[in-house]
Homo-oligomer: A and B are copies of this chain.
Amino acid sequence: MQERELIEQIRNLVGENCQQVLQGIGDDCAVLKKNSETVWLVTMDTLVESVHFDASWHPPELLGRKAVSVNVSDIAAMGGKPCFVLLSLGLPAGFDHAWAKSLTTGITSGCRQYGCMLVGGDTVCSPEKVVLTITVIGEMAANKVLYRQGAKLDDTIWVTGNLGSAAAGLALFQKKEPQLLVTYKPFVQKHLDPRARVNLAEILAQTGLVHSMMDISDGLATDLSHLCQQSNVGARVIADQLPAHPLLAEAAKHCADDPLQWMVSGGEDYELVFTAPPRTEEALKKLARNHDFQLFPIGTIVKGNRVVLGKSADMKDDEQVISYQGFDHFS
């Protein structure tokens, strides 16, 4: 049984949304009515030691910040502003006090970074591994929420920054060659201490130009597949247009990895992927210039239900399906 099947099963058990719930299971956040103009966004994510992080190389303070960032990124994914954080912290008996203190310092520093406040949670004994669950509550105008659903035929697909950097960082740590971590510091940084695109997301939501949005946590292929499935469309992504850090290809060589695979299937970049009609392209580019951030068009929403990767905008052959399964090998 895969994660998607389990979630589908739970979703079926829940049934219809009630009036106060504008969005239940199935998007980056639940969307709850606060009043006629405002909604609350609620998200919850867990990081498990040895599944989601390696405590042997992840400095606890950065791990704490990351745990906040990955959750805040779900608020950004809908265009909201994060406000409140709850933390459930599972620590093994006899945990290292200095380590735990650094972790909690990182969590509160992460909260401050996004202007939100830790308001509650609990601490539990965990049998062996550290487990961090965080809930973030955000807020935004009800009529500006950007859902996964909403992508329209011919929409341009955009991403907000380089892809594959976090995957590169992880691969570099796994190589266990300290010099590589110095040479490729930007990737290391992205893996250890990613930033959620909150400000940019708020600006995008305000424009009213965007049809659908989500964050890239599980990799472009998987996350874009979610967006397409919920919008009942397909997508064609163009490999040549995917943005990458200039050192990505070189780092991939050192790791005997494929940089395109990192960009397409690597998770944890926490950039945003969104779609908007082609006529808004100039307006979005101008917005990016004015606010000093970058936006990259990477493909187009198409008919059907497949997400495919083509080599360039012109060549229609040589396409490969990358829906969910991620990217196996680009030939």
Binding site for B on A (CB under 8 A): 1, 3, 6-7, 9-10, 13-14, 17-18, 20-21, 23-25, 29-30, 32, 34-35, 40, 42-46, 48-52, 83-84, 86-91, 95, 97, 100-101, 104-105, 107-108, 111, 117-129, 131, 133, 135, 137
Q: Are A50 and B127 in contact (CB under 8 A)?
A: yes
Q: Are B86 and A119 in contact (CB under 8 A)?
A: no
- In chain B, what residue has the closest Cβ to A16? B117
Nearest CB in chain B: distance from A194 CB, A? 17
Q: Which residues from chain B contact A131 at a C-beta distance below 8 Å?
A: 46, 48, 90, 126, 131
Q: Which residues from chain B contact A105 at a C-beta distance below 8 Å?
A: 13
Q: Are B97 and A21 in contact (CB under 8 A)?
A: no
Neighbour of A123 across the interface among B7, B34, B100, CB < 8 A: B7
Q: Are A13 and B119 in contact (CB under 8 A)?
A: no
Known: A13-B108, A42-B86, A48-B90. A6 touches B123 (CB 8 A): yes
Q: In whole angstroms, what is the CA distance A53 to B88 when docked?
A: 17
Q: Are A14 and B86 in contact (CB under 8 A)?
A: no
- In chain B, what residue has the closest Cβ to A50? B127
Neighbour of A137 across the interface among B42, B52, B118, CB < 8 A: B42
Q: Are B126 and A48 in contact (CB under 8 A)?
A: yes
Return the 10 tightest CB-CB contacts between A and B, nearest first. A30-B119, A30-B120, A13-B108, A133-B133, A44-B86, A46-B88, A24-B119, A135-B135, A46-B124, A14-B118
Q: Which residues from chain B contact A13 at a C-beta distance below 8 Å?
A: 104-105, 108, 118
Known: A42-B137, A86-B42, A88-B46. A24 touches B118 (CB 8 A): yes
Nearest CB in chain B: distance from A112 CB, A? 9
Nearest CB in chain B: distance from A94 CB, A? 10
Between A and B, 17 residue pairs with Cβ closer than 8 Å are A10-B104, A14-B111, A17-B119, A18-B117, A21-B119, A24-B117, A25-B118, A25-B119, A30-B84, A32-B119, A32-B137, A42-B84, A42-B137, A46-B122, A46-B133, A51-B127, A133-B133
